[in-house]
Amino acid sequence: MSEVVPSLHQRRRAPTDAELAGIPWLARLTPEERQIAVAELQISEALAGDLVCRMGRPVTYWFGVVDGLLKMSGENAEGQAMTFAGLPPGGWFGEGTVLKREAYRYNVQTLRRSLVAGLPVDTFHRLLDQSIGFNRFVMNQLNERLGQFIAAREIDRMNNPDLRVARSLAALFNPVLYPGVGEVLRITQQELAYLVGLSRQRVNEALSNLQTQNLIRIEYGGLRVLDLEGLRSQRNV
């Protein structure tokens, strides 16, 4: 008989001090508010391919990426699969769903082994009711996320592969949504291909072109952005 792997929920545990240090919104809280949040935060070690959020399931946590890489996806009006966002370290997501306490309208899946943090829905709303700092963080998230989703629709309609890769990379280096990334994103060409919806070979070609333009530098195990505005402003690379 094959061994039964515990679910993501069953693998949850309390966060370490190092993991708490990587949660950006904790710094916005007062000592009392931080104590409330830390007591309720959970960490799960997600395996590659785990579904963190499943379309149609009721919301239970507000989630964030401590380490690893996730993909948020759904379907467009024609029933075709569409990637809304890649979710690198430092990114928290699903606040709109948590605010409305509704079922997920998207799937979030791990592309590799990842550490995922979760704050229970009731604790999220408690902090929202009590904390000005937490409110500002969530408001900034919602505003930035709206722009990200509009950009994702635009990227999905692009026929130029180099342009798709450039814009998708720029989204992953968003310092507001993903403060844990910095200047270097740990990602493989295959993972980027999953996010962009292209073959690994075509992504490799696009990355080489972007590197030739001194927009990025391909490093061992990842990518370094050299000109974020240049990536964002690409029109016909």
Q: CA 22 → CA 28, 60, 94, 126, distances in Å?
A: 13, 22, 18, 22
93: tokens are 């997501």
d(CA 195, CA 73): 9
Q: Which amino acid is at 44?
A: S
Residue of 17, 14, 73 whose CA lies nearest to 197: 73
d(CA 169, CA 198): 13
| CATH node for 17-156 | 2.60.120.10
User: Strand, coil or helix: what is 188?
Assistant: coil
Query: Can you tell me which residue has the tokens 């990637």?
Result: 83
d(CA 58, CA 164): 32
Residue 92 phi/psi, 5° resolution? -115, 140
Domain boundaries, the chain: 17-156, 161-232
Residue 95 phi/psi, 5° resolution? -65, -35
Exposure string of 7-19, with b = 16+ CB inside 10 Å and e = fewer, is ebeebbeebeeeb
CATH class name, domain 161-232: mainly alpha
d(CA 85, CA 172): 8
pLDDT digit of tens for each residue in the chain (237 aa)? 556 667 787 888 999 999 999 999 999 999 999 999 999 999 999 999 999 999 999 999 999 999 999 999 887 666 667 778 889 999 999 999 999 999 999 999 999 999 999 999 999 999 999 999 999 999 999 988 887 766 666 666 667 888 889 988 888 988 888 988 888 899 999 999 988 888 999 999 999 999 999 999 999 889 999 998 888 887 654
Q: By the 8 A CB rule, do 85 and 66 touch?
A: no
